[in-house]
Structure 1
């Protein structure tokens, strides 16, 4: 008869092309042994199989950019351990505090320190990586490392040092007009114009248009209905309504319709299928390369804004910031803005995007005395 110690975990499986994130081996084995003592070996084996399925589902629903972040942060951790002469498979209080100090001091590959926000991300992801590899990291130790990070970040501010790129520049109406005028009369130009104008009107992130299928965009008598599913939060599952603009030069509905009409006329009708990507990649010779991905959307927006002579090049987040800022300036209700952009109502990040022009006209103290 088999004993609990003889129980082998089910090998890693693949679900939808994603390999499951491995569970900590020693912890899982100890758990299986406890199950065997309580319920018997057969039941313990089935429970272990269920755990592996749960791991596979977790891997399937984890966004690719999150997995990429885990990988990058683990490489930062291994560089730190090599530099400090510490074992990778230890997440002690001292190691974690030393990790954040090293990141702020010299952690980047060019020898410069990370911005505190980047260091915070790497700390959290490194702890995840340690736990996935069976290393016990206590909440208290992680909390102390985070407290150290916050204190060191304050010291940087007091010395006048600012790190990081800061908030991306927000899109504005002048920029939209410049972009619309600068788009060439080609399929690529039509795609660029539709990408920016529609993205602005539903406050898109770079991954949003990259994930859209043709069937997600529906023409309505009053405009476009866009089913946006980013997978980031439950608030990202929404149908954004984009009305016709009064000015046809920057109308997102007309721009998208023109782009799709030209795509169907110049290329295979398969690109009009509901399962085809709404926004396609196009090479310099006009050949379609497939659907756009988040990185290509970000590069396209920067390229498009640079071509239009926008003073500060836009990034993949400029459209999102721009919608929040301009809508607020136009007196739109905060809840309506949140619903359009897929933010949680009263979201702190959305409020941060509602930028002031100069702090004088939109000033809480103005006109009080």
Structure 2
């Protein structure tokens, strides 16, 4: 009697290769090719170099970038569930369908994403697919991006503008209003120093949150701020801030007053060089710890609201303000880029150089 081979078990979830399995299999195949070409010892050293490269990539990837990848992968998995498509396929059709779905109904509440958000999710989802061993061609990704740009134009033509748009930029009048509205307290002095210094080095919300007291040093001509939280080689910098002609909005004087008062009224540990440069302060004037990016953003919005600024500032308003105000006063674009930590001729910096009403700096003005 001939033995009948047992039927193969159906493939279940446990049999589906995980991203880690796929990556390990790819690495093993690569090592085997190296061994054939160069010998076992060279293959081992090359594999160790790959491990080092992976560790360096993980070390230099900013936390907020990792957070974006995680959020965007969740958006991708929601799309795949809604469209009944496999998560680990990044074909041209799937990516075009993804951007179409995002603009139409991708948010949790059923509304469509703004094109800028959809663009971020597309890029991060492609990274997520590649991290999981999925081959995504540049042509397929480009097709999805072309579809996204075309659909965004259709939205504009239909009169639909999504997203909050660019944050309002800080201006000199607003700085004066903020200074006048700050109370004569430790928190008030902290608020003035936070806004005035942040404006003068075009801070993002994570920049003052990441500063230690020792990162801000006095110089005969002003302050030198070591900004170490930037994402690029341009944004990690030593920003120099000079004394202002108007003492009322002078960032150097504001910083000195804040730190002097902090030393007099708070525990000495908050004045150590390794303490946070900007601290949280409760309603009773007690220091609660170092500020984080979210608390910086909330503080700037609260401070501008207290001052009666017509449109509330956000954590990015100081950064936009430095670029737009410096440009309006004729500062050189390269000097602005160096101070704010942009690449020279950065597109984002040029976008921040806002033209408030389109009349004063108009290409057609005075031609006829």
Q: Does 1:180 align with 2:174?
A: no
For 2:221 and 2:272, locate their aligned partners in 1 and report how far apart those are by CA, in whole Å: 23
2:234 is paired with a residue whose SS is: helix
- Extract unaligned runs of 5+ from structure 1: 1-20
Partners of 2:282 and 2:53 in 1: CA distance: 41
Q: Which residue of 2 aligns with 1:194?
A: 193
Q: Is the 8 A contact 1:22 1:55 kept in 2?
A: no
How far apart in 2 are the matches of 1:357 and 1:141? 39
Measure how far apart 1:259 and its partner are: 0.7
Q: CA deviation at 1:287?
A: 3.2
Check whether the contact 1:32–1:44 (CA below 8 A) recurs between aligned residues: yes
Q: Residue 23 and residue 238 in structure 1: after superposition, are their counterparts in 2 closer, same or farther (change >3 A)?
A: farther
2:135 — aligned with what?
A: 136
Question: What residue in structure 1 maps to residue 351 of structure 2?
Answer: 352
| Alpha-carbon separation, structure 2, partners of 1:29 and 1:137 | 21
Q: Quickly say closer, same or farther: Cα 1:150–1:67, change in 2 above 3 A.
A: same
1:240 is displaced (CA, Å) by 1.6
CA distance in 2, matches of 1:55, 1:345: 30
Which residue of structure 2 lines up, in the alignment, with residue 120 of structure 1? 119
Q: State the SS of the aligned residue for 2:28.
A: helix
- Alignment-derived partner of residue 171 in structure 1: 170
Alpha-carbon shift at residue 117 of structure 1 (Å): 1.0
Judged with a 3 Å threshold, the aligned counterparts in structure 2 of structure 1 residues 46 and 176 are, in CA distance, closer, same or farther, namely same
Q: How does 1:75-224 map to 2 (within 5 A)?
A: 75-224=74-223
CA RMSD of aligned residues (A): 1.8
User: How far apart, CA to CA, are the structure 2 residues paired with 1:40 and 1:292?
Assistant: 54
Quote how far apart the aligned CAs of 1:245 are.
1.5
Matching residue of 1:267 = 266
Query: Any idea what SS the aligned residue of 1:234 has?
Result: coil
- Are residues 1:366 and 2:365 paired? yes
Which residue in 1 is equivalent to 2:306?
A: 307
Aligned length: 349
Query: Which digits, 9 at most, give the CA deviation of each residue in 1:284-312, with x for residues without a partner?
Result: 34333332222221111111111111111
SS in 1 for 2:330: coil
Distance in 2, matches of 1:66 and 1:319, equals 22
Displacement after TM superposition at 1:25 (Å): 2.9
Is the CA contact (8 Å cut-off) linking 1:235 and 1:343 kept in structure 2?
Answer: yes
Contact in 2 for aligned 1:77/1:88 (Cα 8 Å): yes
CA distance in 1 between counterparts of 2:84 and 2:260 reads: 61
Residue 73 of structure 1 contacts residue 125 of structure 1 at CA under 8 Å; is this kept in 2? yes
Larger radius of gyration between Structure 1 and Structure 2: 2
CA contact (8 A) 2:76 2:98 kept: yes
The unaligned stretches of length 5 or more in structure 2 are 1-19
Q: Is the 8 A contact 1:22 1:132 kept in 2?
A: no
TM-score by length of 2: 0.90
Cα distance change, pair 283–36 in 1 and its aligned pair in 2 (3 A): farther
105-114 vs 269-278, which moves further: 269-278
Q: CA deviation at 1:40?
A: 4.3
Residues of 2 paired with 1:341 and 1:231: CA distance? Answer: 10
> Partner residue of 1:225?
224
Task: Supply the distance in 2 between the matched residues of 1:131 and 1:343 (Cα, whole angstroms).
Answer: 29
**In 2, Cα distance between equivalents of 1:112 and 1:135:** 29
CA contact (8 A) 1:210 1:297 kept: yes
Asked if the contact 1:242/1:252 (under 8 Å) is kept, the reply is yes
Contact 1:24/1:135 (8 A) holds in 2: no
Helix, strand or coil for the counterpart of 2:289?
strand
Question: Could you tell me how far 1:247 is from its partner in structure 2?
Answer: 1.9
Equivalent residues in 2 for 1:35-114 (5 A)?
Answer: 35-41=34-40, 43-114=42-113
Q: 2:207·2:230 contact (CA, 8 Å) conserved in 1? A: no
TM-score (norm 1): 0.90
Between the aligned partners of 1:22 and 1:213, the Cα distance in structure 2 is 42
Compute the displacement of 1:59 (Å).
Answer: 0.9
Q: 1:357 to 1:142 in 2, by over 3 A?
A: closer
